[in-house]
Structure 1
Amino acid sequence: MKRKIEQKLLEWKDKSDRMPLIINGARQVGKTYILREFGYRYYKNVVYINLEINYAVASYFTETISPEKIIRYLEATVGEEIVPGQTLIILDEIQSCERALTSLKYFCEDAPEFHIVAAGSLLGVAINRQNYSFPVGKVETITLYPFDFEEFLFAMNEELLIKEIKRCFDGMEPMPEGLHKKAIELYRMYLIIGGMPACINAFNKNKKLLDVPNIQKEILDNYIADMAKYSSNTESVKIRACYNSIPTQLAKDNKKFQYKVVQKGGSASVFGVSIEWLSLAGVVLKCQKIEHAFEPIAVYADLSSFKLYMGDVGLLGLKSGISHQSILSGDGNIFVGAMTENYVAQELTAKGYNIFYWSSEHSAELDFVIQKENRIYGVEVKKGEHTKSKSLGVFSQKYGDAIPIRVSSKNFGMTDKVKAVPLYAVFCI
Structure 2
Amino acid sequence: MVLERKIYKKLLEWKNDSQGKKALMIEGARRIGKSTICEEFGKNEYETYILIDFAKKDKEIETYFKSHLNDLDTFFMLLQTHFGVRLTERKSLIIFDEVQMFPQARAAIKYLVADGRFDYLETGSLISIRENVKNIVIPSEERHINMYPLDFEEFAVALGEQLLVEYIKRCFEKKEPLERSMHNQAMILFQQYMLVGGMPMPVVSFIENKKDFTEADKEKRDILRLYREDIMKIDARYRSKVLAIFDQIPGFLSQHEKRVVFKQLQDGSYADQYEETFFWLSDSMISNECFLCNDPNVGLSLNETRGYVKCYMGDTGLLLSHAFDENELLEDEVYKQILNGKLQINEGMLYENVIAQMLVANGHKLYFYNHYNEEKHRNDIEIDFIISNNSKLKYKMFPIEVKSGKRYSTVSLNNFMKKYKERIGAGYIIHPRNFMIREDIICIPPYMTIML
- The answer to whether the Cα contact below 8 Å between 1:19 and 1:112 also exists between their aligned partners in 2 is no
Task: Please state if 1:257 is matched with 2:278.
Answer: no
Match of 2:376 in 1: none
Say if 1:68 and 1:341 are closer, same or farther in 2 by CA, change over 3 A. Answer: farther
Task: Please state if 1:35 is matched with 2:38.
Answer: yes
- The answer to whether the Cα contact below 8 Å between 2:49 and 2:85 also exists between their aligned partners in 1 is no
User: Counterparts in 2 of 1:226-241, with a 5 A limit?
Assistant: 226-229=230-233, 231-241=234-244
Task: Please state if 1:317 is matched with 2:320.
Answer: yes
Match of 1:98 in 2: 103
2:133 aligns to what SS in structure 1?
A: coil
How far the C-alpha of 1:300 sits from its partner, in A, is 1.3
CA distance in 2, matches of 1:57, 1:227: 27
CA distance in 1, matches of 2:229, 2:288: 20
**Which of 11, 14, 26 is the aligned partner of 1:12?**
14
Task: Please state if 1:218 is matched with 2:218.
Answer: no
User: Counterparts in 2 of 1:261-340, with a 5 A limit?
Assistant: 261-321=264-324, 323-340=334-351
Summarize deviations over 1:88-135 as a string: whole Å, max 9, x none. Answer: 111101010010011112233x22342110111135666411221322
- The answer to whether the Cα contact below 8 Å between 1:286 and 1:309 also exists between their aligned partners in 2 is yes
TM-score, normalised by the number of residues in structure 1:
0.95
2:239 aligns to what SS in structure 1?
A: helix
- The answer to whether the Cα contact below 8 Å between 2:272 and 2:307 also exists between their aligned partners in 1 is no
Summarize deviations over 1:375-411 as a string: whole Å, max 9, x none. Answer: 3111111112223232211111112131101111111
CA distance in 1, matches of 2:146, 2:130: 13
CA distance in 1, matches of 2:48, 2:449: 38
Task: Please state if 1:404 is matched with 2:427.
Answer: yes
1:122 aligns to what SS in structure 2?
A: coil
1:52 aligns to what SS in structure 2?
A: helix
Q: Which amino acid aligns with 1:320?
A: A
Q: Which amino acid aligns with 1:97?
A: F
Q: Which amino acid aligns with 1:76?
A: T
Task: Determine what percentage of the aligned residue pairs are the same residue.
Answer: 30
Further displaced range: 326-335 or 339-348: 326-335
Say if 1:365 and 1:89 are closer, same or farther in 2 by CA, change over 3 A. Answer: same
Further displaced range: 329-338 or 59-68: 59-68
Match of 1:427 in 2: 450
- The answer to whether the Cα contact below 8 Å between 1:287 and 1:355 also exists between their aligned partners in 2 is yes
Match of 1:81 in 2: 86
Match of 1:413 in 2: 436
How far the C-alpha of 1:151 sits from its partner, in A, is 0.6
Further displaced range: 357-366 or 263-272: 263-272
- The answer to whether the Cα contact below 8 Å between 2:129 and 2:283 also exists between their aligned partners in 1 is no
Say if 1:15 and 1:270 are closer, same or farther in 2 by CA, change over 3 A. Answer: same
How far the C-alpha of 1:269 sits from its partner, in A, is 4.3
**Which of 369, 372, 393 is the aligned partner of 1:361?**
372
Task: Please state if 1:107 is matched with 2:112.
Answer: yes
CA distance in 2, matches of 1:74, 1:151: 36
Q: Which amino acid aligns with 2:85?
A: E
1:237 aligns to what SS in structure 2?
A: helix
Q: Which amino acid aligns with 1:392?
A: L
Summarize deviations over 1:270-299 as a string: whole Å, max 9, x none. Answer: 432122111111100011111222222221
CA distance in 2, matches of 1:19, 1:290: 36
The number of residue pairs the alignment matches comes to 426
- The answer to whether the Cα contact below 8 Å between 1:22 and 1:119 also exists between their aligned partners in 2 is yes
User: Counterparts in 2 of 1:241-252, with a 5 A limit?
Assistant: 241-252=244-255
Q: Which amino acid aligns with 1:350?
A: A
Name stretches of at least 5 consecutive residues in structure 2 with no aligned partner: 374-378
Match of 1:153 in 2: 156
CA distance in 1, matches of 2:156, 2:131: 34
CA distance in 2, matches of 1:63, 1:107: 14
TM-score, normalised by the number of residues in structure 2:
0.90
How far the C-alpha of 1:38 sits from its partner, in A, is 1.2
- The answer to whether the Cα contact below 8 Å between 1:249 and 1:261 also exists between their aligned partners in 2 is no
User: Counterparts in 2 of 1:372-383, with a 5 A limit?
Assistant: 372-374=389-391, 375-383=396-404
Q: Which amino acid aligns with 2:346?
A: F
User: Counterparts in 2 of 1:170-185, with a 5 A limit?
Assistant: 170-185=173-188
